[in-house]
Structure 1
């Protein structure tokens, strides 16, 4: 099967609802990068295997995508024994960043800007008093939503001099 046919079939299985899970094995070194990317895009879970530090160990990198779009990633070190049982050894230890970088964390990112992001007290007060153009007071809302007497209407009564053609209403335009 061609890669587009495989992707189309996987997409149909995914949207059909009759199939709960499709498990596939894809050797990424045997296919083009675009094909691998397309299949990975369709997958809701990916498990990438790589050799571990020791000879009999391997590392599984797990990526899960939920329907909401949230991506969860995890890694586990495992080994396969001679009787073909999988034993999870541990999760790899990632060194934590040093806590000595407090100066960098506390540095103000707005310190060297050419414009001011903060408002003075007088500017803040003026901003709070400002009436926004499309925020109406109750009186104005009432007047707009419930027109009272005296509202204007345009009544058109054609007279004998009007040259209005029912067949071509735009006849008087120079088009």
Structure 2
């Protein structure tokens, strides 16, 4: 009824698309359902149905339930971390050891106060100009080749 481009655009924006096609038998029809969640996950389902004489819909069977189980096993097989030579997951003892570890850039309160408050013997730089210093009050950048 509509142009393919228009139908394609609407299908791209929709969260659920139902495509109805004739089935194997004369009185059957197949509904292919595609659902897209907000997270981007796509779920596909397929239902075979027929109409009675009083125009009620009878769902005959759901062959796609087996297909859903197959896609779950395919997803497990496609796990990119399955064949790694190193472990990306931590055991409970490793996680506890990680949590107890003190990071070098995180300071305790004692260390912060020691670094911020200078006590006796703290270093200072004192500059006392001598006779050889060539500092001109009027042109402080005189020594630069500009």
* TM-score for the superposition, normalised by structure 1: 0.41
- Which is bigger in relative contact order (C-alpha 8 A, separation at least 6)? 2
Larger Rg: 2
* TM-score for the superposition, normalised by structure 2: 0.47
